[in-house]
C-alpha cells in the first residue's frame, strides 16, 4: 500500500478525470441522470464557479440538507474545489435540530430540497428564517442566524421568496472565469478543513467534527484498497451521503478509484434489488439492517445479484447467519466489516476479504495501513496486554482536527499524546484483530444510527408533565438496540406512552423518538446520587414487547 497522499478534493477529481474521463462516474437511476467522469467534472466546475459568484470564500461553512440526489455528490466536489466546508445535515432532522446546526456551524449558506418523508424542508426552513419573505436572495439578514446569507432551493417549486434556485447558482457561475477558479484552488491546502459532520456525545447536543481533505481522501483510499475497489466497480450508494459512510466510504471512495457512484435516493430494499440487477452493481455498502431487509424481501429471488462481489458492512455488529447469506445469496464473497467513528474520518479497522467468516462476524478486523490503535487502561491510559479489555484508542493521519468551537470537548477526545479516545471498550488478539466488548458512553446504536440519550432527555424535559427522565438503549433483534425512556411524572399529572411519543413527533427526528416509554417512581442511584443507567437498562431488558 502507498503512503498517505497530500492532495485536495479538486486535485483528486482532476486526476481521476485524466485517467477515466470516459468511464461512468455518476448514475441516478431514479432520475435518469448518467454522467461520465468528464461530464461530472464539468458540472462540478460549473457549480464551483456558481459558489464563488455567490460569495462563498475558502473556509465558509455550507450546510446541505438533502437525500442522495445527484446534486449532493456534485456539491461535495464543487465545494472541495473552492474550499467551502461541507456541513452535512441529517435527513431526519426537524426544526430544533436544523436551527441548532445552522447556528452552531456559523453556516453562511444552506442548500435544501423540497421535502423528505413527513418533513417539508422548505416550510421548516421558512419557519426558522421568517425574514425570507422580505429578503432578496443572497442578502438574508436573520436575527437568530447572523452568518446565514444564502439559501438555495433544489427542486421544482415555482416561487421561492428569498431563496436562490439551484439553476440560478450555475447561471451566476458564468461570470467567473476558469482562471479565477484555478487561482482559488491554488490557495487550498490538503490540511484545510473541508467537511463538517455533526455527531453527539455525552454532553448532549451535536458537535461539529472538522475533517480535512487529507483526513477523508486517505481514509477513502485505505477503505477502497481493502475492499479491492477499481475503476471497473459500480457501487450502489444506499447509505445516506450525510454520513461518513456515504460521503467518504462511498462517493469519495468511488472518485478515488474511478468507480461508478450508483445513487439510491434513500434506502428501499426493493429499489436496491432492482438497481443492483439493472445497473450490474459490483459493490454495495450498508448497515446490517439494510442487508437483512434486502435478504428478507419477498421478491428477492426475482432479481439477479450475480454481478456483486464486494462491499462494506458497518455501523453495528453483523450476525453470522446474515454474513453467510450476504456472501452466498447476494454473491458478495469479499464483503468486509469496518469499524470506526466520525472523528477518525471514519474507519479505523477492517476485516480483510480473505478472512474466514468467523473472523468477519466475531471481530472488527485489524488496523488500516498507517493508523495506530491500541487497547488502553481506562484509568491510566497505558497500553494493555493482548486479550485484556480496555478502551480502544487510535491516532494517525485520519484523526479529526477537532470539534468546531468546542476546544474543551476536543481536548477531552484527543489526549496530549494525540490518541483519540473512542469511548468503546474492546480487546485485541495475537492476530491483531480487535473486538468491541462494550461502550463507556451511554450511546445507543439503533440500526447503525448513533443516538445520544442526553439530547433526547433534554428535549423531554421541555414537556411540562415530566419531572425526571432517563433514556437508555435496550436490546432489539431488528435494530440491535431500541430507545427506552424512563419517565418520572410531576405530582398529580397523568400521561401515556402515546402522549409522550406524540409530543416528540415533528420536533425530533423519528429515529430518536423512544420506542418504549415506562413511567417510574424513582431511578436506581449510586451513593453519591448519580443515576445508574446500566441498572435501569437491566431492569427492563427482556421484559419489553414491541
Q: What phi, psi does 351 have (nearest 5°)?
A: -75, 165
What does the pLDDT average to over 65-69? 98
Residue 410 pLDDT > 80, yes or no? yes
Residue 251 pLDDT > 60, yes or no? yes
Q: Chain centroid to CA 259: how far?
A: 21
- The three-state DSSP-derived secondary structure of 30-57 is CCCEEEEHHHHHHHHHHHHHHHHHCCCC
List, for residues 422-465, the tens digit of each pLDDT value.
998 899 999 999 998 776 767 788 988 878 787 898 799 899 99
As a whole number of angstroms, the distance between CA 105 and CA 126 comes to 19
| The residue to which cell 413527533 is assigned | 505
Model confidence, pTM: 0.86
Share of the chain above pLDDT 70, in %: 97
Return the C-alpha cell found at 119.
418533513
Q: What phi, psi does 471 have (nearest 5°)?
A: -115, 130
How many folded domains does the chain comprise?
1
Answer whether residue 231 is part of any domain: no
Per-position DSSP letters for 334-399, written without gaps between them: T-EEEEE-GGGSSEEEE--TTS-HHHHHH--BEEPTTEEEEEE-TTT-PBPPTT--EEEEEEETTS
| The residue to which cell 406524540 is assigned | 502
**Cross-strand pairs, 207:** 199
List, for residues 135-153, the tens digit of each pLDDT value.
999 999 999 999 999 999 9
Specify the CATH number for the domain of residue 459. 3.30.300.30
Give the per-residue pLDDT at 546.
56
Report yes or no: 303 and 329 within 8 Å, Cβ to Cβ: no
As a whole number of angstroms, the distance between CA 4 and CA 7 comes to 9
List, for residues 350-380, the tens digit of each pLDDT value.
999 999 999 998 899 999 999 999 999 988 9
Residue 529 pLDDT > 70, yes or no? no
Report yes or no: 218 and 53 within 8 Å, Cβ to Cβ: no
**Per-residue pLDDT band at 545 (split at 50, 70, 90):** low
CA dihedral for 8, 14, 16, 19, sign (positive or negative): negative
Answer whether residue 499 is part of any domain: yes
Angle value at C-alpha 91, between 90 and 92, nearest 5 degrees: 90
List, for residues 287-316, the tens digit of each pLDDT value.
888 998 899 899 999 999 999 999 999 987
As a whole number of angstroms, the distance between CA 106 and CA 131 comes to 17
The overall average pLDDT reported for the chain is 93
**Per-residue pLDDT band at 98 (split at 50, 70, 90):** very high
Answer whether residue 485 is part of any domain: yes
End-to-end CA distance of the chain: give it in Å, rounded.
48
Give the per-residue pLDDT at 498.
96
Answer whether residue 148 is part of any domain: no
If one counts every other C-beta atom within 10 angstroms of the C-beta of residue 268, the result is: 17
Provide the domain limits for residue 535. 444-540
Report yes or no: 233 and 311 within 8 Å, Cβ to Cβ: no
**For 27-31, 162-166, 460-464, which range has the lowest pLDDT when averaged over its residues?**
460-464
List, for residues 102-122, the tens digit of each pLDDT value.
999 999 999 999 999 999 999
Answer whether residue 61 is part of any domain: no
Per-position DSSP letters for 407-465, written without gaps between them: HHHHHHHB-TT-PEEEEEEEEE-TTS-EEEEEESS--EEETTEEE-HHHHHHHHTTSTT
Residue 543 pLDDT > 80, yes or no? no
Q: What phi, psi does 360 have (nearest 5°)?
A: -70, -20
Strands of 114-245 (E only): list them: 115-116, 119-120, 150-154, 164-165, 193-199, 207-212, 234-237
Answer whether residue 523 is part of any domain: yes
Asked if omega into 34 is within 30° of 0 (cis), the reply is no
What does the pLDDT average to over 269-283? 98
As a whole number of angstroms, the distance between CA 474 and CA 477 comes to 10
Q: At how many degrees (to 10) do helices 70-82 and 178-186 cross?
A: 70
Return the C-alpha cell found at 117.
418523508
Give the per-residue pLDDT at 250.
98
Q: What phi, psi does 86 have (nearest 5°)?
A: -80, 115
Answer whether residue 481 is part of any domain: yes
List, for residues 177-210, the tens digit of each pLDDT value.
999 999 999 999 999 999 999 986 434 578 999 9
Q: Which of 360, 361, 311 is nearest to 334 (CA)?
A: 311
As a whole number of angstroms, the distance between CA 252 and CA 245 comes to 10
Q: Which of 380, 416, 379 is nearest to 395 (CA)?
A: 416
CA separation, residue 93 to residues 55, 77, 198, 246 (Å): 27, 24, 12, 17
Answer whether residue 478 is part of any domain: yes
Give the per-residue pLDDT at 164.
98
List, for residues 465-520, the tens digit of each pLDDT value.
998 899 999 998 889 899 999 999 988 999 999 999 999 999 999 999 999 999 99
Amino acid at each position: 500500500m502507498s503512503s498517505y497522499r497530500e492532495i485536495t478534493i479538486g486535485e483528486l477529481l482532476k486526476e481521476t478525470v485524466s485517467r477515466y474521463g470516459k468511464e461512468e462516474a455518476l448514475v441516478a437511476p431514479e432520475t435518469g441522470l448518467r454522467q461520465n467522469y468528464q461530464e461530472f467534472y464539468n458540472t462540478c466546475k460549473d457549480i464551483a464557479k456558481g459558489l464563488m459568484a455567490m460569495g462563498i470564500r475558502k473556509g465558509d461553512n455550507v450546510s446541505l440538507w438533502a437525500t442522495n440526489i445527484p446534486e449532493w455528490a456534485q456539491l461535495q466536489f464543487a465545494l472541495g474545489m473552492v474550499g467551502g466546508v461541507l456541513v452535512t445535515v441529517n435527513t431526519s432532522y426537524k426544526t430544533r435540530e436544523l436551527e441548532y446546526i445552522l447556528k452552531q456551524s456559523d453556516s453562511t449558506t444552506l442548500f435544501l430540497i423540497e421535502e423528505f418523508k413527513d418533513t417539508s424542508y422548505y416550510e421548516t426552513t421558512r419557519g426558522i428564517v421568517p425574514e425570507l419573505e422580505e429578503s432578496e436572495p443572497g442578502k438574508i439578514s436573520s436575527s437568530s442566524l447572523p452568518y446565514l446569507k444564502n439559501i438555495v432551493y433544489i427542486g421544482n417549486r415555482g416561487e421561492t421568496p428569498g431563496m436562490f434556485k439551484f439553476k440560478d447558482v450555475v447561471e451566476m457561475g458564468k461570470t467567473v472565469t476558469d482562471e479565477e477558479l484555478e487561482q482559488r484552488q491554488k490557495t487550498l491546502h490538503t490540511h484545510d478543513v473541508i467537511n463538517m459532520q455533526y455527531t453527539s456525545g455525552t454532553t448532549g447536543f451535536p458537535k461539529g467534527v472538522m475533517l480535512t481533505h487529507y483526513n477523508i481522501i486517505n481514509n477513502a483510499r485505505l477503505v477502497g484498497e481493502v475492499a479491492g475497489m477499481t475503476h471497473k466497480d459500480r457501487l450502489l450508494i444506499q447509505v445516506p451521503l450525510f454520513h461518513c459512510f456515504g460521503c467518504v466510504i462511498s462517493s469519495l471512495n468511488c472518485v478515488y478509484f474511478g468507480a461508478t457512484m450508483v445513487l439510491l435516493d434513500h434506502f428501499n430494499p426493493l429499489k436496491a434489488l432492482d438497481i443492483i440487477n439493472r445497473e450490474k452493481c459490483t459493490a454495495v455498502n450498508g448497515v446490517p439492517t439494510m442487508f437483512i431487509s434486502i435478504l428478507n424481501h419477498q421478491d428477492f429471488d426475482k432479481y439477479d445479484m450475480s454481478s456483486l462481489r464486494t462491499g462494506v458492512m458497518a455501523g453495528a455488529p453483523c450476525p453470522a447467519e446474515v454474513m453467510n447469506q450476504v456472501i452466498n445469496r447476494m454473491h458478495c464473497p469479499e464483503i468486509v466489516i469496518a469499524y470506526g467513528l466520525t472523528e477518525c474520518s471514519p474507519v479505523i479497522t477492517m476485516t480483510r476479504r480473505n478472512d474466514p467468516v468467523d473472523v468477519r462476524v466475531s471481530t472488527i478486523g485489524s488496523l488500516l495501513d498507517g493508523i495506530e490503535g491500541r487497547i488502553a487502561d481506562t484509568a491510566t491510559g497505558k497500553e494493555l496486554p493482548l486479550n485484556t479489555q480496555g478502551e480502544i484508542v487510535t491516532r494517525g493521519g485520519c484523526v479529526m482536527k477537532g470539534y468546531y468551537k468546542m476546544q474543551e470537548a476536543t481536548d477531552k477526545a484527543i489526549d496530549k499524546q494525540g490518541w483519540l479516545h473512542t469511548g468503546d471498550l474492546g480487546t485485541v488478539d495475537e492476530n491483531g484483530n480487535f473486538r468491541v466488548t462494550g461502550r463507556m458512553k451511554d450511546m445507543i446504536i439503533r440500526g447503525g444510527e448513533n443516538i445520544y440519550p442526553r439530547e433526547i432527555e433534554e428535549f423531554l424535559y421541555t414537556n411540562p408533565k415530566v419531572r425526571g427522565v432517563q433514556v437508555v438503549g435496550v436490546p432489539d433483534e431488528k435494530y440491535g438496540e431500541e430507545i427506552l425512556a424512563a419517565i418520572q411524572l410531576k405530582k398529580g399529572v397523568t400521561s401515556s406512552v402515546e402522549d409522550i411519543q406524540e409530543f416528540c413527533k415533528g420536533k425530533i427526528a423519528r429515529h430518536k423518538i423512544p420506542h418504549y416509554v415506562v413511567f417510574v417512581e424513582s431511578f436506581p442511584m449510586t451513593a453519591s446520587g448519580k443515576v445508574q443507567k446500566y441498572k435501569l437498562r437491566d431492569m427492563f431488558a427482556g421484559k419489553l414487547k414491541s
